[in-house]
Every structure is written in C-alpha cells, then in structure tokens.
Chain A
C-alpha cells in the first residue's frame, strides 16, 4: 500500500503516455491532454506546498522571537504583500489580480525583477574570482579553455571585435562559424546525446520501480 501502489501508479501512468505516443490519437482520444492536465494541477499544488512550507519554517522564529526573527518577519510580509492581492478578484479593485497596474505587478517590476538581475549580476564577480583561482595554463587542455574563453569574451565586445578585424577582416566570422557553430555545436550534441540516453534510462528505471528515491524512505 505504501510502496507497491505508488510503483504501480508510476508504471501505469508512464505506460499510458507511451501508449498515447505509439497508438493512433483517434483511438485514445484526448487521454494525453487529460493526463497532462492532471500533472499540471498536481504540479501547481506542489508549488503551493513549497510556499506553505516556507511560511511554516519562517513563522516559528517570529513567534519565538529567535535570533534574526526580523528577517523572517520581512519574508512573511513579502509573501503576504505579493500573494494576497494576487488571489483577490480584479472585480473588487484593479489593484488586485496579476494584470498590469496591480500590486502584484508593482512588486514584481520594482522589487523582484531588479533583485533577480542583481543576484545574477553578482555572479559576474564570483565567476571572475573563481576563474582567477582556477584558470592557470597548467597543461594543454587548461590552456585551450583559457584561450577560447578569452577569444569569445573579446569577440563579444566592440573593441575586441575591432582587434580581430584588424588582424583579419574575416576573423570574427571564422570564430562564429568554427568555434561557436562547429566545435561548440559538436560538444553540445555529444552531451545532448548522452543526456538523452541517460534521461531515457532513468525514465525506464522510474517506471519499473527500480528508481524510487522520489518516495523518500521506503
């Protein structure tokens, strides 16, 4: 009941999708759409589970006035100001819902988006710092990586492109064709082929109940 039934459910739901793929769509009707809709609905509830969980985790320190509880309170307040107006009907006020001009939209444009951009921009410093420590031309492979990274970074800025054009007018085009469109594509393709085989094998393991870590402790 606790282990075998979930494995049977995983097998049957997987088999249904394979059947939909193989069989004539006229024979199975809109089973694919139906099952995908179920998955979307469950996925939505799972995301809400995460939100409830983060609220629970941060509620406790606020109630107990633990160290740093003000930060936890700020998190709870942020969840509330974004979530509550978004679920209220627009018919009550144009500030509700998620459309342009709503409270949800205001917080997204003025806070979420700039903070997200800042978080990613900060990675530039960490990438540079990591590169400074790791990028030593110790051997042929590391030198290749270092050289290619330098060439691509230079190529992507006007001054670098100017230098390449000064060396040879066709050089930027050659980098684009043979480095980005040649070697890069080849390696990406190799990785994609490996990943596709891995994903297919893992899918089969899940369907057959060999891979069951998603169930937690069994």
Chain B
C-alpha cells in the first residue's frame, strides 16, 4: 500500500506540474481527482466534527440525562434546540428546489446575522481598539515612531473622502512608499514560501519516488 501511495502521489504531482507546459488530459484528470478528494474530505470533516460532535452526541447525552430524571425539562429543551438547529441546517437543501429555494434564506439569514453581530463587536473591541492602542506607545523609540507614522500615512493614503492635496497629499505620498515597501516584503516572503514548497515537491519526486538522488 505504501508503494501504491508513493506512485499515485508521484503520478498526480507530475500530472499537476504538466500544466506548466500546457493544458493536457493528465492535468484535467488530476484536477478533477483533487476536487473530488477535497469534497470527500469535507464530508468526513463535517460528519465527525459537526453532525456527530455538535448534534448527534449532545442529543444522545441530553436524552440519557433526561431519561435518568436529572432535570428532564432542561434536557428536553436542549434536545429541542439542537433539533431546531439541525432542521435549520436541513433547510439549506431547499436550494435544490427552485420553487422552495427561498426557504434557505432563513438559515442563511441566521448565520449572516449571528456572524455580523459577532464581527461588529469583535472587530471594534478586539481589533480596532488594540491596534490603535498599540500604535500610540512610546514615540521616543525610533521603531515605534516608524510604526506611528507608517500607520498614519497608510490610513491617509486610503482616505478617499478628500482630494489628496496639500498636507493630506504629502502624507498619502509617504503612505504609498510605506505600502510599497510592505508589499515588496510580503511578496518576497510569499515567493520564498512557494519556492520552499516547490523544492519539497521536487525532492519528493527525485528522492522519495524515483530514487534518482540520495538524500544528503
């Protein structure tokens, strides 16, 4: 099984890399297999971490507790809540029936509203305020001063409600310099990350699979 896995991994790795030359049937096959495996992976993940852990297991536990006479009213209510959540989730499948697809808006609206409520508070309280507070620290330190001016000028560059002239224009101009340096640094980091992945895959083909090179 280990050798079969090695050959399958090698075959599909080369098939995917073949796209660098041009689109071809091997790439098409590998692309479809990858999409299928990813979808299958989701099924396993959702089944175990959501359906079982969040729905079936808690319902069973509450059922056992209710049957044992331990606050049965509370446990029955909890079961009701969980069944309601499951029913809301099932409503998503009305999307497949054009005449009833509008029903899927209910669970979607719940998720959107709930997430919006969480984000509204967490973004302001957990991100905005700490980031501003972290900017206004000891400005006698040169690094803190760079960060302070960087944040200020970056924000002015993204402020489009007033024409970028005068002081605002000057600040925005410095802001774009800061942004370009940061984007360059990010670009460099991303490229190096991808290159290390590429080296890893080439090593896999040459060392693990084809055994053309001995590991150093």
Contacts and interface: CB of A to CB of B under 8 A. Distances in A.
Interface of A: 2-3, 5-7, 9-18, 21-22, 34-56, 68, 70-72, 74-83, 86-87, 97-98, 104, 106-112, 114-125, 127-128, 131, 140-142, 144-153, 155-157, 177-194, 196-197, 199-200, 202-204, 206-207, 214-216
Contacts of A117: 197, 200-201
B112 A214 contact: yes
B184 A50 contact: no
A204 B41 contact: no
Contacts of B88: 38, 41-42
B17 A118 contact: yes
A39 B147 contact: no
Given A122-B20, A189-B147, A179 B89 contact: no
A22 B117 CA distance: 11
B44 A153 contact: no
Contacts of A3: 105
A120 to B, nearest CB: 5
Q: SS class of chain A's interface: helix, strand, loop or mixed?
A: helix
A141 B117 contact: no
A194 B201 contact: no
A28 B154 CA distance: 41
Contacts of B115: 39, 203
B13 interface: yes
A22 B155 CA distance: 29
Given A82-B36, A121-B198, A190 B154 contact: yes
Nearest to A54: B39
B29 A71 contact: yes
Given A42-B107, A49-B92, A187-B178, A131 B187 contact: yes
A71 B9 contact: no
Interface residues on B, range: 35 or more
A115 B16 contact: yes
A76 B32 CA distance: 9
7 contacts: A42-B110, A140-B177, A149-B191, A152-B192, A190-B150, A196-B131, A203-B123
Given A10-B113, A38-B114, 20 more contacts: A10-B109, A13-B114, A38-B110, A39-B111, A41-B85, A42-B110, A44-B49, A45-B86, A75-B33, A78-B37, A106-B5, A108-B37, A111-B37, A144-B177, A148-B185, A156-B192, A185-B147, A186-B146, A193-B151, A215-B108
A186 B150 contact: yes
Given A43-B50, A117-B197, A145 B180 contact: yes
